[in-house]
Structure 1
Amino acid sequence: MDTFRAVLGKPPAADTGGPAGRPSSMDAAWLALEAANDLGDAAALAACRRVIDTSLNGKSAAQSDLNLIRYYFS
């Protein structure tokens, strides 16, 4: 079973005030950040950090970073 879908249930989306209970891109970024850190994946770490930073600042993350996180466990 795909770890990403098992934990989050759905792929991440940009934080646009979607339905309650849907995982935010920041939640997915934290999950991917932990995995990327364990694997030593510097590019994924950087993308995760950018998504987390932009989410904390109330901005939208780059689509390329969101795509990397979305498909990280594929």
Structure 2
Amino acid sequence: MLPQFGTAARKNPNKNLNKAVSADAGGAAPEKASVDAAWLVLEAANDLGDQAAVEACRRVIDAELNGTVAGASDLDLVLGYFR
């Protein structure tokens, strides 16, 4: 079963980004939805040979695993990749 990433993103495209940016300001870990999106984008970017997107996804995923905050530019790329 596939995650509901595309459906959730269409309802409010800035919802996850706003949460991620507010998490950035508060020093909390990245939003779970952005990490799920990073895994989906990582797979697509690998298939397409998009190395910049692959690196951004890895940074978002690493930030979640380390309990740190992902960069806003990386989150922007991940959350806007399929638009």
Q: Which runs of 5+ in 2 are unaligned?
A: none
> Identity of aligned pairs, percent?
57
Q: CA deviation at 1:24?
A: 2.1
Which of 48, 58, 71 is the matching residue for 2:67?
A: 58
Change (3 A) 1:23 1:57: closer
Q: CA deviation at 1:5?
A: 1.9
1:23-59 Cα distance to aligned partner (Å, 9 max, x none): 5211110010011011000000000000000110001
Considering only aligned residues, what root-mean-square deviation do their CA atoms show, in Å? 2.2
Partner residue of 2:6? 5
Structure with more helix by fraction: 2
Q: How many residues align?
A: 65
Rounded to whole Å, the distance in 1 between the matches of 2:58 and 2:49 is 14
Residue identity in the other structure for 1:5: G
Task: Report matched runs for 1:2-41 at 5 Å.
Answer: 4-6=5-7, 9-10=8-9, 11=13, 12=16, 13-14=19-20, 23-41=32-50
